[in-house]
Amino acid sequence: MKVLGIAGSPRRGGNTDMLLAEFMRGAASKEAEVKTVILNNLKITPCQHCDACLETGECKIKDDMQMVYQELERADRIVLASPIQFTGVTAQMKAMIDRCQSRWVRKYVLKVPPLGDRRERKGFFISVGGRKVANLFEPALVMVKTLFRILDVTYAGELLFSGVDGKGAIAKHPDALHQAFLAGQKLVEESKTD
Ligand SMILES: Cc1cc2nc3c(=O)[nH]c(=O)nc-3n(C[C@H](O)[C@H](O)[C@H](O)COP(=O)(O)O)c2cc1C
């Protein structure tokens, strides 16, 4: 069982990073092989809509996204972690999502599995927003669920915390980090009984 965490915040050691780290610690405690990719450390050019992928299902931009494609293909469970920025996911996360257009082509144009094989994959979303308003996470949720649907990844749940702004403020929440640890365990455990 391989669990891939994708960290979308530019703030290292910030709130979503802390939640993702606990989630991955929970998954690892149930014998999952875990790997975290930090998008802010990678060079991922935004999609150029060149349509090269329409023929091949491959993205012709040879940057760090090629490594991310490989990790997505290897993973059984995919955990996206992004704070809310201007009501959506971060630019780092959005660039990664848009570069999955080549996987959209695989699924809908070329009619082949978007991640190379038909094994069951599951996806999870972690997010934090500074404000405390209704529907704070809705635009990001629509985007993330769309990505998972395109990748043939079953949506397995989310952890969302509003009103968390300062770096590390999530640690003051009564049980957010513990919830993340348990959610990581559950994502792996559930699968053993599927
Ligand atoms: C550029 C930018 C835009 C933001 N936009 C929003 C927003 O639209 N809504 C919100 O609730 N918080 C917004 N925030 C606050 C962050 O979501 C919040 O600080 C969060 O805790 C950051 O998480 P991190 O530590 O994982 O990066 C924004 C922060 C930045 C830097």
**Does position 194 have pLDDT exceeding 80, yes or no?**
no
> Distance, CA 148 to ligand 1 centroid (Å)?
23
The CA distance from 176 to 168, in Å, is 12
Exposed/middle/buried for residue 99 (C-beta within 10 Å: 0-12, 13-18, 19+):
buried
**Does position 193 have pLDDT exceeding 70, yes or no?**
no
Confidence of residue 190 (pLDDT cuts 50, 70, 90): confident
**Does position 39 have pLDDT exceeding 60, yes or no?**
yes
**Does position 27 have pLDDT exceeding 80, yes or no?**
yes
> Distance, CA 176 to ligand 1 centroid (Å)?
17
**pLDDT, tens only, 120-135:** 999 999 999 999 999 9
Ligand 1 near 26 CB (within 6 A): no
> Distance, CA 84 to ligand 1 centroid (Å)?
5
The CA distance from 52 to 156, in Å, is 32
